[in-house]
């Protein structure tokens, strides 16, 4: 149970004195909300749900507040979706570490594990690894040599990290693999020679990696993931890739070796970016894009295969559709 005034304060929404004493017990969708719950409207496509909602209060933008029925208390904010995230966190805070090491964990004598860290069942921590204060290392995690985990970070079950430096307050979901060899091979007349992969992985602060993400170590220099990046499930980052701050990469996307992404880039699901390219700050890639050349102008949206500026891609598709229709009419 939360006081509405506390939620309003957290999301910086104005609230009248008459509503300060109202209590709410949870966050629900507009369609399923009932008395005592709080909801949000971030897309006017759901205006009809807002008009019929049973919620006690709704987080809403100034332009959409008129959709709410009279019984609903509007919490007017500029970004309802972000405010929803804050409110939801108030009801479902992230778990805090419960200090202790499970009896089945195997920890090398020369590893440094902070007293406040929580180490789960069957964890393996090798020589020289450091685990900072208030970390949670879930069951069956393997932290191999050359790895350090920053304060307040949680590593999900079944993850394997090696040669990896992880910043503070990160969240890795189950099955993440970092620091394994990149795809480095030199073809010769007599076969293929493996190129040793001797670099590491450096991951910034407040980074979230989805389940089964894979991030290769660098061949010589490190693979780098900047502060605040969010990677969805099953994203593949190849060796020597460098990703700037606050990038978001959706599921099953892949980035080939030695490509550099700027800051604030959004990569749609199942997109592929070829190696040795540079992608400018603020670029957005539509889902299933295939990027084969560098993108140099900041803030553009690209799509298609091979990827083009989005307007060019749409014009090309429209032209192809007209040609097909014209051909079909001629049959």
Given a contact cutoff of 8 angstroms between Cβ atoms, the answer to whether 130 and 168 are in contact is no
**What confidence tens digit (pLDDT) does each residue in 213-245 have?**
999 999 999 999 999 999 999 999 999 999 999
Query: Tokens standing for 330?
Result: 């001629």
pLDDT grade, residue 325 (50/70/90)? confident
- Measure the CA–CA gap between 253 and 232, rounded to whole angstroms: 9
Pick the CATH number of 2-91 from 3.30.1230.10, 3.30.413.10, 3.40.1390.10, 3.40.50.970: 3.40.1390.10
Whether the pLDDT of residue 81 is over 90: the answer is: yes
Does the annotation count 239 as an active-site position?
Answer: yes
Q: Determine phi and psi for 249, rounding to 5 degrees.
A: -125, 115
- CA dist., res. 122 & res. 128, Å (int): 18
CA 49 vs CA 31, 38, 39, 74, 98: distances in Å: 6, 14, 11, 15, 41
Confidence label for 327 from pLDDT (cuts 50, 70 and 90)? confident
Q: Which of 19, 108, 239, 276 is catalytic?
A: 239
Structure tokens at 137: 């290392």
Q: Is 92 exposed, middle or buried (0-12, 13-18, 19+ CB in 10 A)?
A: exposed
Query: Which residues 6+ apart lie within 8 Å of 193 measured at CB?
Result: 185, 186
pLDDT classification of 330: cutoffs 50, 70, 90: low
- Across 139-148, 175-184, 315-324, least confident range: 315-324
Domain boundaries, the chain: 2-91, 163-311
**How many helical (H) and strand (E) elements, i.e. helices and strands, does the chain have?**
4, 39
Domain at 163-311: CATH code: 2.160.10.10
Residue 331 in this model has a pLDDT that exceeds 70:
no
For the chain, percent of residues with pLDDT exceeding 90:
95
């Amino acid at each position: 149970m939360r006081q509405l005034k506390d939620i309003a304060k957290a999301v910086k929404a104005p609230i009248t004195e008459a509503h300060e004493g109202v209590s709410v017990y949870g966050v629900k969708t507009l369609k399923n909300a009932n008395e005592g719950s709080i909801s949000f409207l971030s897309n006017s496509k759901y205006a009809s749900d807002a008009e019929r909602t049973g919620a006690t209060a709704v987080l809403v933008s100034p332009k959409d507040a008129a959709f709410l029925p009279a019984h609903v208390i509007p919490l007017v904010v500029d970004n309802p979706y972000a405010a929803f995230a804050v409110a939801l966190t108030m009801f479902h805070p992230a778990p805090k570490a419960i200090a202790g090491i499970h009896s089945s964990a195997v920890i090398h004598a020369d590893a440094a594990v902070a007293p406040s860290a929580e180490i789960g069942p069957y964890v393996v921590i090798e020589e020289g690894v450091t685990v900072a204060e208030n970390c949670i290392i879930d069951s069956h995690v393997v932290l191999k040599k050359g790895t350090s985990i920053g304060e307040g970070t949680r590593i999900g079950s079944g993850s394997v990290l090696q040669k990896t430096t992880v910043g503070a307050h990160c969240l890795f979901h189950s099955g993440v693999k970092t620091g394994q060899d990149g795809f480095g091979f030199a073809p010769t007349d007599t076969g293929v020679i493996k190129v040793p992969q001797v670099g590491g992985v450096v991951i910034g602060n407040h980074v979230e990696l989805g389940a089964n993400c894979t991030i290769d170590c660098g061949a010589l220099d490190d693979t780098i993931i900047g502060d605040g990046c969010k990677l969805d499930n099953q994203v593949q980052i190849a060796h020597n890739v460098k990703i700037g701050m606050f990038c978001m990469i959706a599921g099953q996307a892949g980035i080939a070796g030695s490509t550099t992404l700027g800051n604030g880039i959004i990569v749609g699901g199942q997109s592929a970016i070829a190696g040795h390219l540079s992608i400018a700050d603020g670029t957005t890639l539509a889902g299933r894009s295939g990027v084969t050349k560098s993108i140099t102008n900041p803030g553009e949206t690209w799509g298609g295969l091979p990827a083009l500026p989005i307007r060019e891609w749409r014009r090309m598709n429209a032209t192809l559709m007209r040609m097909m229709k014209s051909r079909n009419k001629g049959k």
